[in-house]
Amino acid sequence: MRFISTEGRAPAADLPTALFRGLAPDGGLYMPRGLPSLRPEELEEIRGQPWSRVALEAARRLLGQDLGGPGLERVVKEALDFPVPLVPLRENLHVLELFHGPTLAFKDVGARFMARLMAHFRDTDQGPLTVLTATSGDTGGAVAQAFQGLSGIRVVILFPDGKVTPRQERQFSTLGGNVTAVAVQGDFDDCQRLAKGAFRDPRLGDEMALTSANSINVGRLLPQSFYYFLAWAQHSAPLLFSVPSGNFGNLTAGLMAGAMGLPEVKFLAATNANDEFPEMLRTGVFTPRPSRKTLSTAMDVGDPSNLARILHLYRDDLDALRRDVSARSVSDAETRTCIRRVRDETGYVLDPHTAVGYVALEEALEGMPERTGILLATAHPSKFAEVVEPVLGTELPIPARLARCLEKERKVTPLEPEQDALHALLRGLETV
């Protein structure tokens, strides 16, 4: 498969080049030049199949030409070694739990798969690789733990100081070793701007062997399409996926699955007060703004990178996009009410991001009674105890893998949101 830039001014790249470069030379994001199309009989082969089989079959269609046979099977087996259960909450609404990986967040799917792709393709004779990632929450922990301890790979996590939850931060700020946690004195948009600026500097990129592990990186984006096939394989009814959306990588992956032939699926982008995407669908104009702080902090993104991929996929045809995607902005008050009501009615506890998706989905299904709603649950609620526990009036049990992080020492490097400061920090990293 060949990958092309959303900006259209860079040469096509093969998978290893796109994987290690992260951002295309013209500043665009890589996208497959042509997605494979699955025939109805091929799709029927995954009906009722387990996660491991569905993921492998989807991976073969996307990556089989670049990584075939035992290599691909090994990547899938090692990366996706945790369950992705589909839990019914009511007759026409199911929760796809994506938070059973090592860091209790959906980002584990893409981060672990990408890390193993890089380990497969990396030339160890070329010196250390530097993985630079901006995070608004769960990406940091997923990427840090996916690459932790891998020889010859340095990981730098940029996060907005004080704007991710303490438990999220502990999952990447306590690791040390080949992982450097950088507390940027700004917001997530500053972190993302700094990361993009570093990738646009060809001299720095060559010097540091710099690559990205954000959803900027196509290697992290592609495997996120797998679990849309999994949900479809469990249901015969037309589906409506509700996708809690911040940087829009998760929605992009779903739209790619639809473009590959997943039949009778629609998508709902559920945002918090950062409502630039719903506004764009209404008005036809996208206006980026500084991010606004909400209860669903990982979705506090005012200028989502993956919008470029979505528009590229639809060739800038907003009418075509509107036929597949609707959007709803959800307030903090609605989020709190939803968390309490769903627990009282069903016993199920939602994290604030998944609650945003629930509010939007419940409303949308009223006008689509023929569809089954699939709510993407992006994180375990215990990662957001400071939001969920006051709403419910009770303490949440802490999973053991998270509790261990909370007991460790925090190791953080502060950074002003200046490009020169980041470049100096990168050049001062120790060789691993």
pLDDT single digits (tens) 406-420: 889 999 999 999 999
Q: What's the CA angle centered on 253, arms 250 and 257, to 5 degrees?
A: 140
Is the Cβ–Cβ distance between 120 and 19 less than 8 Å? Answer: no
Question: What pLDDT, on a 0 to 100 scale, did the predictor assign at position 316?
Answer: 96
Question: What pLDDT, on a 0 to 100 scale, did the predictor assign at position 74?
Answer: 94
d(CA 154, CA 148): 9
> What is the enclosing helix (H) or strand (E) of 238?
none
**How many other C-beta atoms can be found within 10 angstroms of the C-beta atom of residue 361?**
25
CA distances from 301 to 119, 195, 214, 271 (A): 30, 15, 14, 10
Q: pTM, whole model, 2 decimals?
A: 0.90
Poorest-pLDDT segment among 129-138, 241-250, 404-413, 414-423: 129-138
pLDDT single digits (tens) 45-97: 999 999 999 999 999 999 988 887 889 999 999 999 999 999 999 989 999 99
Nearest to 297 by CA among 133, 164, 103: 164
The b-or-e profile of 156-182 (16+ CB within 10 A means b, else e) is bbbbbbebbbebbbbbbbbbeebbbbb
Q: Tokens 């902090």 appear where? A: 297
pLDDT surpasses 80 at 137: no
pLDDT surpasses 90 at 213: no
pLDDT surpasses 90 at 311: yes
Which CATH number fits the domain 83-104+220-392, given the four candidates 3.40.50.150, 3.40.50.1100, 3.90.1150.10, 1.10.510.10? 3.40.50.1100
Question: What pLDDT, on a 0 to 100 scale, did the predictor assign at position 139?
Answer: 85
Question: What pLDDT, on a 0 to 100 scale, did the predictor assign at position 431?
Answer: 63
Q: What does the longest C-alpha to C-alpha distance in the chain come to?
A: 58
Question: What pLDDT, on a 0 to 100 scale, did the predictor assign at position 365?
Answer: 97
**How many other C-beta atoms can be found within 10 angstroms of the C-beta atom of residue 429?**
15
pLDDT surpasses 90 at 3: yes
Q: Tokens 């080949």 appear where? A: 178
Nearest to 33 by CA among 72, 66, 63, 5: 5
pLDDT surpasses 60 at 246: yes
Q: Is 342 helix (H, G, I), strand (E, B) or coil?
A: helix
Question: What pLDDT, on a 0 to 100 scale, did the predictor assign at position 298?
Answer: 87
Q: Which residues pair with 241 in a beta bridge?
A: 267, 374
Question: What pLDDT, on a 0 to 100 scale, did the predictor assign at position 432?
Answer: 54
Question: What pLDDT, on a 0 to 100 scale, did the predictor assign at position 123?
Answer: 75
DSSP for 13-79?
Answer: B-HHHHHHH-B-TTS-BEEESS-----HHHHHTTTT--HHHHHHHHHHHHHTTTS-HHHHHHHHHHH
Token reading at 195 = 């990361």
CA 158 to chain centre: 16
CA distances from 70 to 64, 73, 132, 156 (A): 11, 5, 29, 31
Question: What pLDDT, on a 0 to 100 scale, did the predictor assign at position 267?
Answer: 98
Nearest to 415 by CA among 209, 184, 258: 184
**How many other C-beta atoms can be found within 10 angstroms of the C-beta atom of residue 413?**
13
d(CA 230, CA 56): 11
Is the Cβ–Cβ distance between 410 and 192 less than 8 Å? Answer: no
- What backbone torsions phi and psi does residue 5 show, to the nearest 5 degrees? -85, 145
Question: What pLDDT, on a 0 to 100 scale, did the predictor assign at position 251?
Answer: 98
Token reading at 351 = 């994290």
Nearest to 291 by CA among 301, 278, 299, 277: 301
pLDDT surpasses 60 at 283: yes
Question: What pLDDT, on a 0 to 100 scale, did the predictor assign at position 306?
Answer: 95
Question: What pLDDT, on a 0 to 100 scale, did the predictor assign at position 420?
Answer: 96
Nearest to 103 by CA among 49, 179, 162: 179
- What backbone torsions phi and psi does residue 297 show, to the nearest 5 degrees? -60, -35
pLDDT surpasses 90 at 168: no
